[in-house]
Amino acid sequence: MEISIYSLIASVFVGGVAGYLGSLMITKKMTLVGDALGHVALPGMGLALYFGFNVSLGALLFLLLGILMIWYLETKTNLPTETLVGIIFVLSLSIGFLITPDLELLEALVGDIAKISVLDFWITVFTSLIVLYGVRKIYPKLMLSFVSPDIASANGISVKKYNLLYLLSIAVIVALGVKVVGSLLVGALVIVPAAAAKNLSNNMRQYVFLSVIIGMFSCVVGIIIANQIVLPTGPIVILTSVFFFVFSLIFSVDK
């Protein structure tokens, strides 16, 4: 089977930006949130597949809903975020399983980038670039808020506002990522490259650069391998990124 150049390029953009956002997620120690958001996307994808509209759009709608719910409950109750995220995570997964048509369930769960249309390709590339541009502008403030909320708020940064902005950009990239690796594994696309990069970095510049590069390479190498051995792309992409992670443990700068 031939791989379309469109799917490769689209995945490079999504993988790179996912890695970029991952560098912040690892710093904030909220990797469970990344994982959970992938699952929150599933009911939206199910509806999109059922009614025949774009899965990323369906995913995005539910992601926004999920994020607003978590954010709202976090400010209105004193429950820990982990608990709230955990509950919304299983709620979405259950609903997702029930409403996604049987035939498309596997695709929704593990992704199928080969199916990308030309229009989807352009949407994916442009949206990734917009997220990259937007996050780049506020990256120092986001990073400071995540490194030390105390110092950030003492310096007049509204930690809550930046949290929300960050979650919204995660939502967009997850909505794009579900096409590449599916809703079950999209969290890993954000987390694993940055986790690997962190082990190999002595400073922020290296960390961000490697997160992006490992995210991109995981996608390209994974898609090519999956195509060679005729297996679903999503799991192979993530296995590739985990391979980079294991490699990073061996050469870790913190040993």
Binding region for other proteins (CB under 8 A): 27, 29, 78, 140, 143-144, 147-148, 150-151, 153-154, 198, 201-207, 253-254
* Between 125 and 141, CB nearer to other proteins: 141
Residue 155 or 228 having the CB closest to other proteins: 155
Smallest distance, Å, CB 250 to other proteins?
Answer: 16
Nearer to other proteins, 147 or 213 (CB): 147
For other proteins, give the closer residue by CB, 48 or 214: 214
State the minimum distance, in angstroms, from the CB of residue 72 to other proteins: 17
Q: How far is the CB of 27 from other proteins (least distance, A)?
A: 7
Residue type, 210: L
Task: List the one residue out of 38, 43, 57, 59 whose CA is nearest residue 94.
Answer: 43
Is 183:96 a contact under the CB 8 Å cutoff?
yes
CB of 56 to other proteins, least distance (A): 32
- 7: closest CA among 231, 219, 217, 243? 219
C-alpha to C-alpha distance for 60 and 30, rounded to whole angstroms: 20
- Distance (Å, whole) CA 167 – CA 149: 16
CB 150, min distance to other proteins, A: 5
CB count within 10 Å of CB 10 equals 24
For 66-101, letters b (16+ CB in 10 Å) and e give bbebbbebbeeeeeeeeebbeebbeebbebbeeebe
Written as one letter, the residue type at 109 is L
Whichever of 6 and 207 has its CB closer to other proteins, that residue is 207
Distances (CA, A) of 133 to 116, 126, 146, 184: 24, 10, 19, 27
Considering the complex, state which of residue 59 and residue 152 has its C-beta at the smaller distance from other proteins.
152
By beta-carbon proximity to other proteins, the closer residue of 176 and 197 is: 197
Q: Name the minimum Å distance from CB 83 to other proteins.
A: 16
* CA 191 to chain centroid: 7
Least Å distance between CB 62 and other proteins? 31
